[in-house]
Amino acid sequence: MLKTTLFGITRGCWLLSAVALLAAVELSGQSVSTPVSPAIQANSNRAPAGGLEKGVLTLHLELRQGDWYPEADTGPSMKVYAFCEEGKALQVPAPLIRVPEGTEIHVTLHNLLRVTAILHGLHQHPGDAKAVVEVPPQETRELRFAAGAAGTYQYYASAGGELGDTGRPIREDSQLAGAFVIDPPGKVASDRIFVLGIWRSGSDLAAVRGQAPLPHMIPVINGKSWPYTERLTYTAGEPVRWRWINASDGGHPMHMHGSYFRVDSAGDSETDHSFTAEQQRTAATNRLLTNGTMTMYWTPPPGHWLFHCHFVPHMSPEMTVANALADKFIMQHTHDHMAGMVLGITVTGNRPPLASHGRTRKIRLWVRERPAAHGLPAGFSYQLEENHNLFPKDLTVPGPTLVLERGRPVEITVVNQLHESTTVHWHSVEVESYYDGVAGWGASGNKVTPEIQPGHSFRVRFNPPRAGTFMYHTHLHDEEQLSGGLYGPLIVVELGTKFDSSHEPIAVLSRAGPSPTEGPLLLNGSTNPPTLHWRIGDRYRLRLISIAAFDGGSFSLLGADGPLQWRAIAKDGCDLPPAQAVMQEARQLALAGEVYDFEYRPTAAGTLQLQVSIGILKMKVAQQIEVQ
């Protein structure tokens, strides 16, 4: 009773929690590790921890158990281990270590858990991932080291909990991780730091392999899950710099709605690599594997945008604390469309008008239920209609290829024939946020993007400003709708040119569903795609689209002796600069939401293979290519 009352009062307030803790200790006469635990605060990574004086950072860190509130500060909580600075609130992510290059770091670690903690990353950078420090329960360790080279790094601890497939903790010790940033000398441009974390009830590799049900997950950005993640506001065109750190067990394809960003550095938390101007990448989706880091630069366009992980189980409304605690999935269709690793950004300003050419094309996009057929379980499908022609006649996976011209306005009426609501997202196309497919978030003036209810339609208008390879897909009830086949290629060609399917093969990598972790691997909706026929000396542009809901797949172009060489052309629909449009081994990893274009010119007769594979699942689909 006492505990409940105290918790009611003390949520989110460390000082009162400390009083509660002491009171409980006194009342019970037990040790400090009594089950009464303080509230953990979400750390927005704005204020560096410790005291910096005369080139020395002094930092006293403690490890304790606390109550974590990944959703509302007054919402459901779960007990996890966390770091705090001595005398301050526990934090997830852990206190930010941020110092200029040349700083000496003096840190003490006091372990108040009942288990030994193993600390990673608290050393000079670049560093060795194997260099760890053990701190037994109730003991303290003192470390002194030089910070090292400027970059984005992390530190984390494991403390006896279950480890995931990548070796990172997944449960009670999964949130023992924080950012470690070393700034270059001189004036530092303002930026924000985001740490990706996951609490998980089990192995998702086993789930992906079909050996276990999908675990419960709480995927978070800076300790919070959508819609409780921080809301950011910018003015259109202002320079935005973000540092991202993946402190979770698993990779994340991080996707920006409505525009591109530039990746200026990438690292693995021990070493960071700053790109030269020629090496900087432009992307709408950039993957961060476990321990991966990036710094990104973004010039935001006006609108309401999302930046999120494209793995469906990392952004699904089922991934809530209530579900994890209940150990079952409660569908909350009416509550919110997403949870997890989703950031909402509001950008003020006006969108400059685009030059448009020709009459507006009018197209209908039918969204339909699809019976089981051709070896695929029942699901959903798209059909296109233009000038009273319906295409394709059958219901297919993926949906039909939508070919648009750059600069030519289009009006697409999405007609929902499902028994549930849907929306359509035009993935990587620079559309207005109202038409971007995020119900309840996208907006134009006072109009907010609606869910398209069963039997209703929604008119989308845009003018594609860029020629390239894109896709369209559902952005609602993704667990079933995306896994069930609601995606299709979107090709934008230069005005007055035609899409030549015989020389521009599209390869869509997905799984058959009906859930994100079920079904065989598919290439263009098939486990046995038809043979392609190519001509010696012709130029082929391969348009590769990865949209498996929860997998990373690889595309390869193989000859008799293994991978051939192809030339990179574009990433996520954006043409590569000359320095990056180079010949390379014809093998490309692509997580959900990534799109790549490559060019290949066969020089001899023979048989080639375009292969898609998911390595960890030993799944493979090959398409034969006869060259004559």
> Which residues bind to Cu ion, rule: CB under 5 A?
252, 309, 311, 314
Q: CB-based burial of residue 93 (10 Å sphere; 0-12 exposed, 13-18 middle, 19+ buried)?
A: buried
For Cu ion, give the closer residue by CB, 309 or 476: 309
Peptide bond into 514 cis (omega under 30): yes
Write phi, then psi, for 322 (nearest 5 degrees).
-60, -45
Cβ neighbours, 10 Å, residue 45: 25
CA distance 428 to 253: 13
For Cu ion, give the closer residue by CB, 37 or 291: 291
For Cu ion, give the closer residue by CB, 200 or 408: 200
Q: N- to C-terminal Cα distance for the chain?
A: 81
Q: Which residues contact 405 (CB under 8 A, 6 or more apart)?
A: 357, 358, 464, 492, 493, 494, 495, 496, 497
Q: CB-based burial of residue 592 (10 Å sphere; 0-12 exposed, 13-18 middle, 19+ buried)?
A: buried
For Cu ion, give the closer residue by CB, 550 or 555: 550
CA distance 566 to 557: 8
Contact 575, 468 (CB under 8 A): yes
Peptide bond into 126 cis (omega under 30): yes
CA distance 426 to 414: 12
Q: Which residues contact 87 (CB under 8 A, 6 or more apart)?
A: none
For Cu ion, give the closer residue by CB, 312 or 506: 312
For Cu ion, give the closer residue by CB, 90 or 482: 482
User: What's the min distance (Å) between Cβ of 1 and Cu ion?
Assistant: 41
| SS3 state of residue 34 | coil
For Cu ion, give the closer residue by CB, 59 or 256: 256
User: What's the min distance (Å) between Cβ of 315 and Cu ion?
Assistant: 7
| SS3 state of residue 618 | coil
User: What's the min distance (Å) between Cβ of 341 and Cu ion?
Assistant: 5
Q: Which residues contact 114 (CB under 8 A, 6 or more apart)?
A: 33, 137
User: What's the min distance (Å) between Cβ of 489 and Cu ion?
Assistant: 23
For Cu ion, give the closer residue by CB, 298 or 311: 311
CA distance 450 to 380: 20
| SS3 state of residue 611 | strand
For Cu ion, give the closer residue by CB, 123 or 314: 314
User: What's the min distance (Å) between Cβ of 473 and Cu ion?
Assistant: 16
For tokens 């984390």, the residue is 156
User: What's the min distance (Å) between Cβ of 226 and Cu ion?
Assistant: 12
User: What's the min distance (Å) between Cβ of 71 and Cu ion?
Assistant: 18
Q: Which helix (H) or strand (E) holds 4?
A: helix 2-10
User: What's the min distance (Å) between Cβ of 546 and Cu ion?
Assistant: 14
User: What's the min distance (Å) between Cβ of 309 and Cu ion?
Assistant: 3
For Cu ion, give the closer residue by CB, 309 or 544: 309
For Cu ion, give the closer residue by CB, 253 or 488: 253
User: What's the min distance (Å) between Cβ of 311 and Cu ion?
Assistant: 4
Peptide bond into 392 cis (omega under 30): yes
User: What's the min distance (Å) between Cβ of 628 and Cu ion?
Assistant: 43
For Cu ion, give the closer residue by CB, 157 or 309: 309
CA distance 368 to 331: 22
CA distance 449 to 438: 6
Write phi, then psi, for 389 (nearest 5 degrees).
-100, 125
CA distance 253 to 597: 18
User: What's the min distance (Å) between Cβ of 208 and Cu ion?
Assistant: 13
